[in-house]
Structure 1
Amino acid sequence: MTENYLKWHSPNLGKEFEMLVFGDSGYPLLLFPTSMGRYYESKDFGLIDAIRWFIEEGRVKVYCPDSIDASSWYNKSISPELRAYNHTCYDKLLMEEVLPRMEAETGHQRIAAAGCSFGGYHAANFAFRHPDKVSYLFSLSGIFDIKPRMDGYYDDNVYFNNPTDYVPDNTHADLWRMGIVLGVADTDVTRPQNELLSGILAEKKISHWLDIRPHTVHNWPVWREMLPHYLSLIK
């Protein structure tokens, strides 16, 4: 399995940024780490090994970007306004620096987005913000309401990065063409948020699968089971 380490100076962040890429060809998968996780987390916790077959068979090419959670949503030492703004810079990095590479290297103009736990938030937020760029969303035990991290602060940057707020108002036609899976453990702390988002999507008649896994908890073993299953749905 091919593994490539990338590092470059990001103009959107004004600092160095790192990413791991697995595979040589296939459908491009943007795989986010968990809260404040690093670009190598999915490898270290066996998630890449769990989908090794798809990578080696050329079904998917996996891009694992670093996170900047410690400078955005999780940074309590800065104002909530700056936390939200910093995330918009991360979104621009993904759109302007990562996505063009994915498209150029794979030949696909749309991608799949996935992530576990807080990575599920990043995947869902990126997909719903840019439905013209994302064909598949696989959120594994994700959260979809960022407001608890905002200390009561609210502005447009919060709204447009808070799926439970902006998805009800989003009328982009590609939302109805996206393959969406919300995977969650039955005893998962994030289950209520997954059920809430599922209800929002159902109200809009957006097709999706709320996959509640029985006898499981919010942790890597269930995510290593989920992701290969979800990747098998890519056509």
Structure 2
Amino acid sequence: MSYQASHAVKRAYQKWYSPHLQRDMELLVFGDGGKPVLFFPTRTAHFYDYEDWKVIDALAPKIDARELQIICVDSVDKDSFYNKELHPSERIKRHELFEKYILTEVLPFIKQNNTNHQIISAGCSLGAYHAVNLAFRYPQLFSKVVGMSGRYDITIQLSFFEDLFEGYMDQQIFMHQPTQYLPHIKSEATLDKLKQLEIIIAIGETDAFLANNLLLDNILSEKGIQHEFFIWQGEAHKAQYWSQMVQLYF
């Protein structure tokens, strides 16, 4: 069961104009010390949803104890992956602008406000994709990554989840699909950085993304990249389960 906070944790709202995204971007910071957790929202969701869904309440003891500081960022999924008015090649370019926003705006903001630079990248559902893809592309920037209920190839077509690029593929899209690009990493320096990353992947046994998670587990094992892989009972693709997962994995 998730922990119900008896009092509100320290909470700060932030908004600034992003030069990369050419729009205002908002985020919430919970706590004022401890390891920073860069927490990506679910598919097309927002920076306040984990708070509304009581996932933050589940972390209240660790936030209050200054073990963790949670930074909930907003998404631009509707402008990128889910913007059907754009050609797929433009959708991935929009996503790369979001990546630049995270790397050159959010991460410096975190480091300016927290002396603990052991940053954790985390997310649920499509947020897990964002968290894992970013940490695998830039492992030197993170100490740990936690992916919950994610799919790590958004080009795969599933019964209720479409290929977000509608069959189109180019090099940029390929380089943002972890289960596609990981097998091709040959650089020992890159592999060494990935091996230093603490990796936790969790998925429900009936989740539509299970097969893709099993593939990721196999790829990491074949590459000699140590990680923890957990399969939960049922689908486990809802906030009540994520509230339990964050207590175990953060």
2:170 counterpart residue number: 155
1:49 counterpart residue number: 57
Task: Spell out, residue by residue over 1:132-190, the C-alpha distance to the aligned partner (whole angstroms, 9 max, x if none).
Answer: 00111110011100222111222222122111111222341210011111101111111
Instruction: Quote the offset at 1:108 in angstroms.
Output: 2.9
Matches of 2:248 and 2:15, distance apart in 1: 31
2:159 counterpart residue number: none
Instruction: Quote the offset at 1:216 in angstroms.
Output: 4.7
Give ranges in structure 1 of 5+ residues lacking alignment.
Answer: none
Matches of 2:116 and 2:103, distance apart in 1: 15
Which TM-score applies when normalising by structure 1?
0.95
Contact 1:187–1:218 under 8 Å retained in 2? no
| RMSD of aligned alpha carbons | 1.1
Matches for 1:1-235 after TM superposition, within 5 Å: 1-147=9-155, 148-170=163-185, 171=187, 172=190, 173-231=192-250
Q: Which moved more, 1:98-107 or 1:127-136?
A: 98-107
Instruction: Quote the offset at 1:76 in angstroms.
Output: 1.3
Contact 2:40–2:123 under 8 Å retained in 1? yes
Task: Spell out, residue by residue over 1:74-93, the C-alpha distance to the aligned partner (whole angstroms, 9 max, x if none).
Answer: 11121101110000000000
Give ranges in structure 2 of 5+ residues lacking alignment.
Answer: 1-8, 156-162
Task: Spell out, residue by residue over 1:5-42, the C-alpha distance to the aligned partner (whole angstroms, 9 max, x if none).
Answer: 11100001011111011001110100010000001011
Percent sequence identity over aligned pairs: 36
Instruction: Quote the offset at 1:109 in angstroms.
Output: 3.2
Query: Match of 1:70, SS?
Result: coil
Q: How many residues align?
A: 231
Matches of 2:69 and 2:184, distance apart in 1: 32
- Runs (4+) of structure 1 moved beyond 6 Å? none
Matches of 2:118 and 2:21, distance apart in 1: 24
Instruction: Quote the offset at 1:217 in angstroms.
Output: 3.0
Query: Match of 2:225, SS?
Result: coil
Task: Spell out, residue by residue over 1:168-217, the C-alpha distance to the aligned partner (whole angstroms, 9 max, x if none).
Answer: 22341210011111101111111111111111101101111110012453
Matches of 1:56 and 1:216, distance apart in 2: 31
What is the identity, as a one-letter code, of the residue corresponding to 2:243? R
Q: Structure 2 vs 1, CA of residues 61 and 219 (structure 1 numbering), >3 Å: closer, same or farther?
A: same
